[in-house]
Chains A and B, each alone.
Chain A
């Protein structure tokens, strides 16, 4: 039997056959349909400038979704990311506009922009760390933990900003803290900084997931936590890291948004966590853990972003937008369930023919 198989010449493009695309890429199909439909409905949809704008929007959700993917791979969930987006923007605004008062003195320090960025990312990491510790040490379920921190973090952001918005976050030359808007408005090779951040983070995470021990541990942990633990996977450490990274991604998103708007509002990011989860799920990940990849998640983010912007461009009312977006999420996932079985069969056949 194996003799016959080994004589079949290996096709170098075997990985990219059309049927594989069909079975693997429901997100891909969804995206193609969306692009075709809106390009037909609105001539401006596929303008380079519009595509770049849409991609910028996608980048924000994608950044959150990448962090969310890591969490979902462990069979967890992170509902607090939207709040962290708000907190991060507010913190940046606060430090930029009001500075940090050195305790016990009247000296006020105005940190330079890169220090602010680092501190905001650090704050995001702390939120994630808190989630991770509550989940692993105190055994609170991820859903409950992050639902709690969703409120706590949002409240903290509101407290810091006293409910107001920090406007005009451009910095002052005499304080040496200008340049914050580069993050959101700067461009490199025609693409906004935010998009580059998304590309960079996506590449790094792809390497993390496929080429490092951490990635292997992540999939094992999500697949069977008990077996992973007995195999020596430090499950608590992995989980804490995952939530921390998700927090950092959320803080980065918050920074980019604040920089784009040159404003930090404590309400920013409300319900963003749901968009992120939707992107991950449309991208083929299982909420039960152990299944999912970056490629899918990015496509998922594009589906949601291109759909949302497309609906705006063709002038669909915002109520209908919600209805349609919800329907697309359900449709995409329902399609996947139907495809899982045929995909499994193909995999088996492939595994059998690999020898």
Chain B
């Protein structure tokens, strides 16, 4: 076997946060011009390793080697000057700046005299966006973009730096299938130009598909590495979680009782009020039923779910919970009556970063622990700890700061918060964003379990395998309309995807039923 050409190497890298060992003497080789995929459960230490490679964090011990030379990065700018660029798992864009300013923040193109050359920057933005087949304009405010578009900007920023080592930590968690395909062609293109890529994703098929080499981290230890052609998906899952992977399966436990009913709901697009995001939408969700809202980005899923939760307001139509119209209620009162939302963007809408894990979990139900105006902390802590176990948050204590958790565990905290309110109907917007296979199955199992006790579940996803396995019923949303309602047991994956594609879809209500 010929010795592969290693461009970046980590030797016995160790990282400790207080008493938490995030990386336990890990070795890692990045081969030039190839894609190396890193697999591992939530909290396995993937992002930590990436941050060390990109100079953002310093290892507790161990060393790095770049092109065969020992190197130690003092900060991310230093790493960047050696051509290492990173796409962060949690978006790190400034919402008040334009796409262009975000992309060139800290590395502005300057003309003579030191002034920023906006024309050159704009051209570069357009060129990269064209490569990504997007028409995001350079002067758009990042804060006005959808989450998926923001992720595109994040990718574009990394491309703009002309890096020779590109780290992608969950670049696709908010992207549609089409956008992921485009990203893959870009990756192929980069590879042919000799760029070395580290790729992390909890969409395992996709991650294995792009990989040339794979690494698996489990509980802070690097437990396996191989060429991608020698491994298969079940094998990777086994290595990641240490046992056979189980997919979540929907149980047929639907009852006749309607919990959540939506009647003729019409919602304006918040970013463009002249357009309708949701047009005359009706749906019934029964107790015990798990309904999947499948559709592409921009189909109106988030708008629909946020309206049910009370953040947005409809133009017309009704939202009924157990037969009572809740459209007039505040968000807080909707939560009390029993509808709660797990939002799409956990950093922006789901978590309070300054609070502890525990206080985040109890945030929506603090009033339940009040006796004579004073909060009773003991019952509160008992409930919090129970939820931490229920949703299996990996944390050293409920007193840890929420920001010290890995991305997937933060997501579990948001779900725990919502479950603690004792909802009758739970709505989830992309609930498995950034969550590992094991936890994905766990979360849907959890929802199925809750459904058994009469919970109505409505979740939105753009991941087709999730729609097929976890739901009792798939409602396909396309451009604000229901384009099909299907029974996942009776249709095939391509059928569902075709129905969601706004170009091919026709009204096919009941197809396959």
Contacts and interface: CB of A to CB of B under 8 A. Distances in A.
A233 B332 contact: yes
A227 B370 CA distance: 22
Given A230-B311, A233-B332, A223 B353 contact: yes
Contacts of A345: 18
A230 B309 CA distance: 8
B276 interface: no
B493 interface: no
Interface residues of B, number: 44
Interface in A85-123: none
Classify the interface of chain B: helix, strand, loop or mixed.
mixed
B27 to A, nearest CB: 22
A223 B397 CA distance: 20
16 contacts: A216-B359, A219-B359, A222-B354, A230-B331, A231-B363, A232-B335, A232-B421, A290-B352, A348-B20, A351-B397, A351-B401, A352-B17, A352-B19, A352-B397, A352-B400, A355-B396
Contact of A211 (B21, B354, B363, B374): B374
Interface string B176-219: 00000000000000000000000000000000000000000000
A117 B26 CA distance: 69
B373 A212 contact: yes
B490 interface: no
Contacts of A223: 352-355
Interface stretch (B127-135, B287-295, B342-350, B471-479): B342-350
Interface of A: 1, 5, 207, 211-213, 216-217, 219-220, 222-224, 226-234, 290-291, 345, 347-355
Interface in B312-361: 330-336, 340-341, 343, 348-356, 359
Given A212-B375, A352-B17, A230 B400 contact: no
Contacts of B354: 219, 222-224, 290-291
B7 interface: no
A350 B396 CA distance: 10
Contacts of B17: 348, 352
A216 B362 CA distance: 10
A353 to B, nearest CB: 6
Interface of B: 17-21, 309, 311, 330-336, 340-341, 343, 348-356, 359, 362-364, 366-367, 370, 373-375, 396-397, 399-401, 404, 417, 421
Contact of A352 (B331, B332, B352, B396): B396
Contacts of A212: 370, 373-375
A207 B332 CA distance: 23
Contacts of B399: 350-351, 354
Contacts of A350: 18, 399
What 7 A-B pairs have minimum CB-CB distances, sorted nearest first? A349-B18, A232-B332, A352-B18, A223-B354, A223-B352, A352-B19, A351-B400
Contact of A1 (B19, B335, B343, B375): B19
Given A213-B366, A351-B397, A226 B404 contact: no
Nearest to B365: A232
Contacts of A234: 330, 332
Given A290-B354, A349-B18, A352-B17, A226 B335 contact: no
Contacts of A349: 18-19
A227 B349 contact: yes
A107 B341 CA distance: 60
Contacts of A220: 352, 355, 359, 363
Given A222-B354, A354-B397, 10 more contacts: A211-B374, A213-B367, A213-B375, A216-B362, A226-B349, A227-B349, A232-B334, A345-B18, A348-B17, A348-B18
Contacts of A352: 17-20, 396-397, 400
A342 B19 CA distance: 16
B374 A354 contact: no
Contact of A228 (B309, B334, B363, B404): B363
Given A212-B373, A223-B352, A223-B354, A355 B397 contact: yes
B23 to A, nearest CB: 14
A230 B350 contact: yes
Nearest to B352: A223
Contacts of B370: 212-213
A350 B311 CA distance: 37
Nearest to A290: B354
A227 B351 contact: yes
Contacts of A213: 366-367, 370, 375
A119 to B, nearest CB: 26
B18 A216 contact: no
Nearest to A220: B352
A110 B370 CA distance: 43
A320 to B, nearest CB: 38
Nearest to B376: A211
